[in-house]
Amino acid sequence: MTEQIREFDVAVIGGGPAGLAAAAAAASQGAQVALIDRNSQLGGILNQCIHDGFGLHAFGEVLTGPEFADRYVRRATDAGVFLQSNTLVTSLAPSGEIICSRYGQRKQLRAKAIVLAMGCRERTRGMIRIPGYRPAGVYTAGTAQWLTNLANVRIGRRVVILGSGDIGLIMARRLTWEGAEVIAVIEKLPYPSGLPRNINQCLLDYEIPLHLSHSVTCIHGKDRVERVTVSRFDETGTPVAGSEFDLVCDTLLLSVGLIPENELSRRAGVVLDRTTSGATVGASYMTNVPGIFSCGNVLHIHDLADWAAEEGERAGASAAKYAEGIHGDAVVEESIPIRAGDGIRYVIPQRVSRSTDQVLMSFRVTEPRGKTTIRAISGKAMIGSTQLNKAHPATMVQLRIQIEDLAGPVEVTCS
Amino acid sequence: MNHRVITCILCPNGCELEVGWDGEPTTQSVEVLGNLCAKGISYALDELTHPERTLTTSIRVRGGVQRLASVKTVSPIPREAVVAARELLQPMVLNAPVAIGQVVVEDVARTGVQVIVTRAVASQSDPEQS
Amino acid sequence: MPRLERPTDQPIPGGGSMFDIVLIGAGVVGSAIARVLSQYRCTVAVIEKESDVGMAASSRNSGVIHAGINYAPDSLRARFCMQGRKLLLTWCDELNVPYKVCGKLIVAPSEEEVPGLRRLRSTGEANGVPGLAIIGPNEITELQPGIKAVAALHVPSSGIVSPYAMTLAMAEEAAVNGVTFLLECEATQIRPVDGGYAVDTDRGTVSGRWVINSAGIHAGHLAQTIDPEAPDLYPCVGEYLILDKQVGESLAMSVYPAPPVGGAGLGVHITPTTEGNVLLGPSDEYVSDPETTSCAGKTADQLLEEAMIMWPALPRHLVIGAYAGIRAKRTSPSVGGFGDFLIRQTPSADRVVHLIGIESPGLTAAPAIADYVVHEILHANEPLVQKPLSEVVHRPWSTRFDDLPEEEKERLVAKDPNYGDIICRCEGVTKHELLHALNNPLGVKTLTGIKYRCRATMGRCSGGYCLPRMVEILQEEHGWEPDDFVLRGPSSPAFAGRLIEERHD
Ligand SMILES: Cc1cc2nc3c(=O)[nH]c(=O)nc-3n(C[C@H](O)[C@H](O)[C@H](O)COP(=O)(O)OP(=O)(O)OC[C@H]3O[C@@H](n4cnc5c(N)ncnc54)[C@H](O)[C@@H]3O)c2cc1C
Ligand SMILES: Cc1cc2nc3c(=O)[nH]c(=O)nc-3n(C[C@H](O)[C@H](O)[C@H](O)COP(=O)(O)OP(=O)(O)OC[C@H]3O[C@@H](n4cnc5c(N)ncnc54)[C@H](O)[C@@H]3O)c2cc1C
Ligand code: SF4
């Protein structure tokens, strides 16, 4: 039953690292904060990421996903955040009204500022249109990770992994440890999309072959996966005739990309970026809808939970300020656009208000490169730059620039 | 001069280390290029002499709100001991509640390394904790 | 831990027992016949080889309620389409099955196709289809923005229906009214026995005084086991792409091309579904394997290309899935085009009735075909006795919680707290609906069966969120073991047992 509508300064939707950090940051500024998450255990995707590699940046220690999540849950609890798990937000109005649903209860609440931190979902077989039958045994890597690490279910015995994203690589090692045979990892691009360290410790250690410039071109088996056909792809992305070979397997895992979970946002009028599938935001992480902020994987896919949490902190702090009446971002029309130039896939934020004095930009390059210079240019003036020994699309890059007397739109390029 | 390219796994930078050495690899003989920090050097030497990895896996929980608790070795163990350590942990069952940091094994597979719980599992009879 | 009950645990009613009617095949046609028969005092067994009803053509089509513009006026297809459409709407209301009379546009991208539209209009008018009009670009844009065409035939009486909801709802109502469904039971032969006919299956023999063969693509060769003159059927696959509900928000009605001359289908069309998704398809390709459900990558590209001729701004990046259905065609590849439905009583055994070549518009026509078979063949031969209305149980399909107004949702949550627990975020499916789906009268426990009954795993994430939630609920609260999770049946296990053995302690 709906009870009386509760009011908060800030409501955070999603209790992964980004949401928890946002809620803690907002609460520590004195805001009254509610955080809502649909899962029974807070921490988001990290609860299933039982491998280590988290926290080096945020805590200077190597932690597993659940340990990392636990730290942020404690932070939010200590900061006095009203934590509501097992609760799904079903709708969000531009005015800040939220409807949520949980066992035995539909509930409304209202907040002066909203932080979107719903994370992402995985790209599926249907989206990448793999031809063939639709048997049992085709799973996205994250779902397989949940089934393996939380449900104690063995998803299969002979596994082929399509896509060299980090989740797929982590699962290759995990399943090998658990006695499954990982036949190969297949990647359509000429380079792996996961981090080099995961190639090393997840594939090389166990001599699991990685077929670059290859993809699965047919799934066989009407009932359960029996084998997959793999073909080589040329530079134009077309399969090379005669290059096909079959791999016998009972399971196909897909690690072919993540998509920000923006259904709620879209319906609340939040404008999405075609490249990131996340919101377009200003330097304070406010979307085009005043009072609605976005951070973490729902804004753009992060490779590191540490970065997602840091972004959450910044967005949460802005949301708390907004609730107090301090607006960091101007309306969209009066902002200066920030654009991705040559060699850059996207830049967050997509705009900056003239009144901001500096902005931290997060971005990715389009393809792997060696020594690289990143430049931020406005008009003819270079307003910031950084040197990288190497750059990889799998690794997010950050650059802070000062905003003074900008001649026009900011463009980030690399060379 | 021996030569190998090794990807450092100690942090997300994943530096590609160009490692060269004469004779037996030792602190003195090993030369490392491409490391962004000093840890890369000791990693390269370890990798040549006695590679180590952290094991992260699951253990059954009895009477918990979840079936599995996740566990890890508190520090890396010899790479060739990883699979043996996993096999030793496999038949173990913990009784709920299980707390983060709880020690599961003092010395796994004679590596001298502890295995600890990394995710809490509340007990079924104590639904307050989630 | 007790094993989940399986359909094969139910023994075949053997011995000397003889049903009044044995139906082979529980597609939309077989299920419609079962529903009509369940209102009479007679014993009925339905033999279905799959683990659930409606798993073949009946759940793998366009879901379009055809108006009757494509069929020669004196054909059975025209007759049953016109009658079927009317009955279907009534049945949908009775069974609470989602449908919408949204109309259809058949578009001519260039002047060349306009005469084809006129031909369709006159066929339709001869069949008695109301409201047909050929309209120009402005009116087209008014009805459906974004469509590029010089002219279109507007067919206002056409519509859409959820084909699997229709089939399942009919079968489930028949089951609660006493029809015996034998799932995972494949008929191999029909032969005469004393007092009737025996249907041999892979699980034993089921006998009936009447046998109705509505085995879809297999109806032809199954008929030939007792009726050598019965015609062959040619499998012709139709592939589809499914688009995200986002696309559905901007599609008001089905959009068809002018039909390709001599083609085996009606051409690649764009059609909304009752749930708000959009379908693109079907292709048409004759195949040798009548059970193929494989989709080709090339075909997917082709479907997009053809659809984009009509709708250039189609958001092709919003494809979320694909499927393929088999048409049971009477015309061989060399002949092409369409044959008519065939309803054939075996000359030497007139109580063995074959329904052969029930391709499009078989979904629309199913209620009329059922009505014809039961009343004009069975009843005319030996009068059936109607059950009193008070004895007939009404079993409506459940309205989706997600479609209800907020006040109604609150009322339901107050009634059963499980309505508050949303297990599938894409489709807004509640735990109540999951448990209701599992509690179906056919005893189906497959993941696909759950999907068709409550839409969990049917959304854009294909189960990324709800499959784990279902596993959690069924494992922890209902004692399911990994082996109990099967996709379509016992031969499609979802998992390979436990990761870490659980000694039961
Ligand atoms: C499978 C996987 C493996 C990864 N491995 C690593 C790794 O090894 N190292 C590393 O540093 N990073 C890793 N990452 C990346 C890192 O975990 C993510 O960047 C980080 O978790 C993102 O945090 P988030 O808070 O944005 O999203 P999430 O952690 O996904 O949290 C989002 C939360 O929002 C909830 N939610 C969504 N919609 C609603 C709604 N409508 N109502 C209520 N709640 C809702 C979700 O249930 C979830 O709990 C991995 C990511 C994935 C997906
Ligand atoms: C691509 C495509 C698009 C279509 N679009 C439309 C449309 O938009 N509108 C419309 O009105 N119609 C449409 N149709 C036609 C419609 O789908 C079919 O006419 C209808 O589903 C046929 O129903 P059925 O019950 O005869 O066959 P099926 O649904 O094929 O059912 C036959 C059943 O018999 C079972 N069976 C077969 N052999 C045996 C055996 N030996 N023993 C036991 N059981 C057996 C099968 O498992 C199956 O369940 C389309 C068809 C296709 C293929
Ligand atoms: S060398 Fe240092 S910076 Fe480079 S990956 Fe190793 S630990 Fe990280």
Q: What angle do CA C218, C221, C224 make, to 5 degrees?
A: 140
Q: Pocket of ligand 3, candidates B36, B41, B46, B52: which has the most ligand atoms within 8 Å of its Cβ, to mutate?
A: B36
Q: Is the pLDDT of residue A217 over 90?
A: yes
Closest C-chain CA to B62: C505
For chain B, the residues whose C-beta falls within 8 A of a C-beta of chain C are 58-60, 62, 67-68, 90-91, 93
For chain C, the residues whose C-beta falls within 8 A of a C-beta of chain B are 475, 499-503, 505
Burial class (CB in 10 A: 0-12, 13-18, 19+), B28: exposed
Name the minimum distance, in Å, from the CA of A224 to any CA of chain B: 26
Q: Flag if C464 and A124 touch (Cβ within 8 Å).
A: yes
pLDDT in tens, C132-172: 999 999 999 999 999 999 999 999 999 999 999 999 999 99
Dist. CA C453 → ligand 2 center (Å): 18
The answer, for A99 touching chain C at a CB cutoff of 8 Å, is yes
With a 6 A CB cut-off, is C66 part of the ligand 2 pocket? yes
Domain boundaries, chain C: 7-57+164-233+339-391, 104-156+234-329, 402-484
What's the average model confidence in pLDDT over B91-117? 96
Topology (CATH) of C104-156+234-329: D-Amino Acid Oxidase; Chain A, domain 2 (3.30.9)
| B130, B65 contact by CB (below 8 A) | yes
Burial class (CB in 10 A: 0-12, 13-18, 19+), C15: exposed
Q: Flag if B12 and A51 touch (Cβ within 8 Å).
A: no
Nearest ligand, CA of residue A171? 1
The total domain count for chain A is 3
d(CA B27, CA A404): 50
The answer, for C305 touching chain A at a CB cutoff of 8 Å, is no
Mutate to test the interface with A, among C1, C250, C294 (most CBs of A within 10 A): C294
Q: Which CA distances in Å does C109 have to C4, C144, C252, C272, C312?
A: 55, 15, 19, 20, 11
Query: Rounded to the nearest 10 degrees, what angle do helices A65-78 and A17-28 cross at?
Result: 20
What's the average model confidence in pLDDT over A341-365? 93
Q: Flag if B68 and A150 touch (Cβ within 8 Å).
A: yes
pLDDT in tens, C438-458: 999 999 999 999 999 999 998
For the C7-57+164-233+339-391 domain, the top CATH level (class) is alpha beta
Q: What is the pLDDT of residue C460?
A: 85
Mean pLDDT of chain C: 94
Chain C CB contacts of B67 under 8 Å are 475, 502
Q: Is the pLDDT of residue A389 over 90?
A: no
Dist. CA C312 → ligand 3 center (Å): 50
d(CA C96, CA C169): 9
Q: Which of C66, C154, C218, C354 is catalytic?
A: C66
Q: Is the pLDDT of residue C16 over 90?
A: no
CATH number, domain of A67, equals 3.50.50.60
Q: What is the pLDDT of residue B129?
A: 45
Note whether A363 and A281 are same-domain residues.
no
Nearest ligand, CA of residue C215? 2
Which positions ≥6 away from B121 have C-beta within 8 Å?
B61, B64, B65, B66, B68, B69, B94, B96, B97, B98
Rounded to the nearest angstrom, the gap between the alpha carbon of residue A313 and the centroid of all alpha carbons in its chain is 16
Cross-chain CB nearest to A56 (options B11, B54, B100): B11
Q: Pocket of ligand 3, candidates B5, B6, B15: which has the most ligand atoms within 8 Å of its Cβ, to mutate?
A: B15
Other CB atoms within 10 Å distance of the CB of residue A128? 16
Residue nearest to atom 1 of ligand 3 (CA): B40
The answer, for A153 touching chain C at a CB cutoff of 8 Å, is yes
What's the average model confidence in pLDDT over C53-57? 97
With a 6 A CB cut-off, is A264 part of the ligand 1 pocket? yes
Q: Is the pLDDT of residue C348 over 70?
A: yes
Domain spanning B56-129: which superfamily? CPE0013-like (3.10.530.10)
| A287, A271 contact by CB (below 8 A) | yes
Nearest ligand, CA of residue C54? 2
Note whether A323 and A389 are same-domain residues.
no
Q: Flag if A67 and B11 touch (Cβ within 8 Å).
A: no
Q: How confident is the model at residue C487 (pLDDT cuts 50, 70, 90)?
A: very high
Query: What chains are in contact with B, requiring at least 3 Cβ pairs below 8 Å?
Result: A, C
Note whether A228 and A322 are same-domain residues.
no
Q: Flag if B58 and C505 touch (Cβ within 8 Å).
A: no
Q: Which CA distances in Å does A243 have to A45, A99, A161, A233, C176?
A: 37, 53, 19, 9, 55
Query: What chains are in contact with A, requiring at least 3 Cβ pairs below 8 Å?
Result: B, C
Q: How confident is the model at residue C5 (pLDDT cuts 50, 70, 90)?
A: confident
Atom of ligand 2 nearest to the CA of C238: 1
Chain A CB contacts of C486 under 8 Å are 136
With a 6 A CB cut-off, is A167 part of the ligand 1 pocket? yes
Closest C-chain CA to A137: C494
Nearest ligand, CA of residue A308? 1
Q: Are strands A410-414 and A335-340 parallel, antiparallel or unpaired?
A: parallel
Name the minimum distance, in Å, from the CA of A326 to any CA of chain B: 36
| C98, C165 contact by CB (below 8 A) | yes
Q: Is the pLDDT of residue A2 over 50?
A: no
pLDDT in tens, A314-330: 999 999 999 999 887 77
Q: What is the pLDDT of residue C267?
A: 86
Q: What is the pLDDT of residue C261?
A: 72
Residue nearest to atom 3 of ligand 3 (CA): B36
| C235, C292 contact by CB (below 8 A) | yes
Dist. CA A2 → ligand 1 center (Å): 29
Q: Is the pLDDT of residue B128 over 70?
A: no
Chain B CB contacts of A200 under 8 Å are 6-7, 9, 14
Name the minimum distance, in Å, from the CA of A383 to any CA of chain C: 36
Note whether A247 and A128 are same-domain residues.
yes
Name the minimum distance, in Å, from the CA of A177 to any CA of chain B: 6
Q: Which protein residues touch ligand 3 with a CB less than 6 Å away? A: B 8, 10-11, 13-15, 35-37, 39-40, 43
The DSSP 8-state label assigned to residue C7 in this structure reads G
ipTM of the complex: 0.93
Cross-chain CB nearest to B90 (options C475, C500, C505): C500
The answer, for C241 touching chain A at a CB cutoff of 8 Å, is yes
Nearest ligand, CA of residue B47? 3
With a 6 A CB cut-off, is C184 part of the ligand 2 pocket? no
Q: What angle do CA C179, C325, C45 make, to 5 degrees?
A: 15
The answer, for A132 touching chain C at a CB cutoff of 8 Å, is yes
Atom of ligand 3 nearest to the CA of B37: 2
pLDDT in tens, C227-281: 999 999 999 999 999 999 999 999 999 999 988 777 777 789 999 999 999 999 9
Q: Find where tokens 């149980």 sit.
A: C393
With a 6 A CB cut-off, is A23 part of the ligand 1 pocket? no
pTM: 0.94
Q: What is the pLDDT of residue A26?
A: 98
Q: What angle do CA A16, A22, A24 make, to 5 degrees?
A: 100
d(CA C96, CA A114): 39
Q: Is the pLDDT of residue A1 over 50?
A: no
Other CB atoms within 10 Å distance of the CB of residue B31? 14
Q: Is the pLDDT of residue A80 over 90?
A: yes
Q: Pocket of ligand 1, candidates A38, A45, A297: which has the most ligand atoms within 8 Å of its Cβ, to mutate?
A: A45
Q: Pocket of ligand 3, candidates B5, B6, B8: which has the most ligand atoms within 8 Å of its Cβ, to mutate?
A: B8
Which positions ≥6 away from B42 have C-beta within 8 Å?
none
User: Does C66 participate in catalysis according to the annotation?
Assistant: yes
Q: Is the pLDDT of residue C4 over 80?
A: no
Which positions ≥6 away from C228 have C-beta within 8 Å?
none
Mean pLDDT of chain A: 94
Q: What is the pLDDT of residue C294?
A: 87
Q: What is the pLDDT of residue A327?
A: 83
d(CA A397, CA A146): 29
The DSSP 8-state label assigned to residue A274 in this structure reads T
Name the minimum distance, in Å, from the CA of B110 to any CA of chain A: 19
**Enclosing domain of residue A251:** 124-256
Name the minimum distance, in Å, from the CA of B23 to any CA of chain A: 24
